[in-house]
């Protein structure tokens, strides 16, 4: 939720790279080798011939006592036969009272293709997110999707841009921006109940709208759904219209503290109408 402007600029720069537009991922190979990304504050690798960038974005690295790494483990085939991005995220971050409430960064896979189109121009954004967690301590953090929209094509940094979060799972008492202001709306989506919270990220000046799945109904390691349904649910809430642009899209986890590792497989792509 505290994604920084510099980070988003980096993503914008990436999306300008010429990459092929693809309609199916099933048979795409990649020359990108498996690797660990442990550099801070920013370390990333674009996955060749696929719509993804794997990113270790530790924008609050100065507050990390320990380490946080994101890895690309290779392309894998999911149970649905579609190609997924295999990746992992390992944090070994001491719980320090003064920074236990500070997200240390964002470990994620971002989209590099078919961004900067209006919702109306997008047919679907099929997503699957598998994760297996192994933790050796209590930890604080979430598993989420994070998208950015704006009525201006390509804008992900002005205060007119909007950051949208979908919290599939959260541990250790992590709370969304705007929590203190209370629930803005309750929404049914993907067959579950979600609470909408809104507030301005004081680091970026951007309003963040977080849909947080009910505590008792959290996802336990698997999500499948069309991300466009989430965006349309927010259109119904009046956040924007279908002519707004989807400028950034990604899925990942926000580490606060703990000794924990996640092995993930992500399917995510934007299919244009």
Residue 181: Cβ within 10 Å count: 10
Which residue's beta carbon is nearest to the bound ligand NAG?
Answer: 71
Nearer residue to ligand NAG within complex by CB, 107 or 209:
107
Nearer residue to ligand NAG within complex by CB, 34 or 160:
34
CB-CB contact of 46 with 37 (8 Å)? no
CB-CB contact of 119 with 228 (8 Å)? yes
CB-CB contact of 63 with 104 (8 Å)? yes
Nearer residue to ligand NAG within complex by CB, 52 or 240:
52
249 makes contact with ligand NAG (CB under 6 A): no
CB-CB contact of 167 with 230 (8 Å)? no
Shortest reach from residue 126's CB to ligand NAG, in Å:
25
d(CA 57, CA 39): 9
Nearer residue to ligand NAG within complex by CB, 30 or 261:
261
39 makes contact with ligand NAG (CB under 6 A): no
Please, which of residues 170-199 interact with ligand NAG by CB under 6 A? Answer: 171
Shortest reach from residue 233's CB to ligand NAG, in Å:
28
Is the four-CA dihedral 44, 81, 16, 151 of positive or negative sign?
negative
Q: Which of 51, 71, 105, 126 binds ligand NAG (CB under 6 A)?
A: 71
Nearer residue to ligand NAG within complex by CB, 131 or 245:
131
Closest CA to 200 of 158, 171, 166: 158
Is the four-CA dihedral 167, 170, 197, 175 of positive or negative sign?
negative
d(CA 228, CA 230): 5
Secondary structure tally for the chain: helices H, strands E: 2, 17
88 makes contact with ligand NAG (CB under 6 A): yes
Cis status, amide bond into 41, omega within 30 of 0: yes
138 makes contact with ligand NAG (CB under 6 A): yes
264 makes contact with ligand NAG (CB under 6 A): no
136 makes contact with ligand NAG (CB under 6 A): yes
35 makes contact with ligand NAG (CB under 6 A): no
Could you give the string, one character per residue 90-119, with x where binding to ligand NAG holds by CB under 6 A and - elsewhere? Answer: x-----------------------------
128 makes contact with ligand NAG (CB under 6 A): no
Chain residues in the site for ligand NAG (CB under 6 A): 36, 69-71, 73, 88-90, 135-139, 171, 261
């Amino acid at each position: 939720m505290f994604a920084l402007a510099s980070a988003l600029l980096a993503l914008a720069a990436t999306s300008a790279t010429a990459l092929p537009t693809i309609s199916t991922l099933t048979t795409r190979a990649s020359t990108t080798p498996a690797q660990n990304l442990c550099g801070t504050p920013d370390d990333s690798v674009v996955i060749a011939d696929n719509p993804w960038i794997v990113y270790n974005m530790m924008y609050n690295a100065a507050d990390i006592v320990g380490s946080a790494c994101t890895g690309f483990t290779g392309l894998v085939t999911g149970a649905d036969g579609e190609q997924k991005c295999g990746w992992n995220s390992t944090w070994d971050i001491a719980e320090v009272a003064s920074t236990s409430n500070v997200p240390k960064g964002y470990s994620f896979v971002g989209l590099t293709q078919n961004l900067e189109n209006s919702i109306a121009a997008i047919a679907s954004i099929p997503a699957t997110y598998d994760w297996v967690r192994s933790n050796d301590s209590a930890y604080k953090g979430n598993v989420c999707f994070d998208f950015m929209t704006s009525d201006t094509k390509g804008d992900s940094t002005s205060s007119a841009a909007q950051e949208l979060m979908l919290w599939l799972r959260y541990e250790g008492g992590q709370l969304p921006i705007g929590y203190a202001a209370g629930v803005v709306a309750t929404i049914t989506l993907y067959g579950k109940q979600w609470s909408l919270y809104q507030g301005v990220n004081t680091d970026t000046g951007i309003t963040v709208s977080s849909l947080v799945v009910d505590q008792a109904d959290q996802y336990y390691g698997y999500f499948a759904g069309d991300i466009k349904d989430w965006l349309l649910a927010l259109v119904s809430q009046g956040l924007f219209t279908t002519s707004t642009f989807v400028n950034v899209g990604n899925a990942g986890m926000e580490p606060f503290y703990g000794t924990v590792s996640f092995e993930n497989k992500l399917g995510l792509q934007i299919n244009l109408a």
